[in-house]
Chains A and B, each alone.
Chain A
């Protein structure tokens, strides 16, 4: 094969391989930090869609800046969160942003209501939510 052929073939193969960089990564190929940040997802990671995996991997850069209590809180909620649909994620983000626009005293009232609800759950045998600071 002549050099121009080889060069052209190399360029084309490289270009076609580029999208594969976005392909799904098996759990075993994640870095130790990625595995720690996404530890609750170890069982179902390999079955997650590529796009979901790519999105979840973006959490890692935030995870390393979190204090231990918030890391634990993230882990507690991560499985349930990753099980939601993209549409549910979108709506949850909207609600969260809207909730943070509410005056602090109103927000605290809602938080208090949720705490009471969680306390009732705890009383009936469901693990309570501990405040995260």
Chain B
């Protein structure tokens, strides 16, 4: 059996059948094709931040791009917040070093100033 011939025959049958379809069916098929293409486009062009999507539990739907960026922005913001707060807390030590040096280098022993 010639496989290439079979494929051609199938295509011809499909073309003949398609030509016999009524207009509403053709329209539904066209819409389904467009939807499939748009899904394929979303999957192939920008799965950037796909891991964020996985976290969100959302699949590659039409709005998944936006979801990816939302999650990326949230994670970035959380990292900034954590970093900023930690750094700020670390630098909150008032600079009393000038007074400390004055005490340390004073003639008076430090126990005079300590209870």
Contacts and interface: CB of A to CB of B under 8 A. Distances in A.
Size band of the interface chain B makes with A: 35 or more
B90 A54 contact: yes
Nearest to B112: A114
A8 interface: yes
Interface in B95-112: 95-112
Contacts of B101: 59, 62-63, 66, 74
Interface string A94-110: 01110100000000000
A68 to B, nearest CB: 11
A133 B48 CA distance: 67
A70 to B, nearest CB: 4
B99 A96 contact: yes
A109 B106 CA distance: 15
Contacts of B91: 22
Interface residues of A, number: 45
B80 interface: yes
A16 interface: yes
A12 B72 CA distance: 10
Contacts of B107: 111, 114, 129, 131-132
In terms of DSSP, what is the predominant structure of the interface of chain B? helix
B82 A80 contact: no
A73 B102 CA distance: 11
A132 B76 contact: no
Contacts of B32: none
Given A15-B82, A95-B112, 8 more contacts: A2-B47, A11-B76, A15-B79, A59-B97, A74-B101, A89-B100, A95-B113, A99-B113
29 contacts: A2-B47, A8-B49, A8-B72, A8-B75, A8-B76, A11-B76, A12-B75, A19-B83, A22-B87, A22-B91, A51-B90, A59-B100, A59-B101, A74-B104, A77-B104, A77-B110, A81-B110, A84-B110, A88-B115, A91-B113, A92-B113, A96-B99, A96-B103, A99-B113, A111-B107, A114-B109, A114-B112, A118-B109, A131-B107
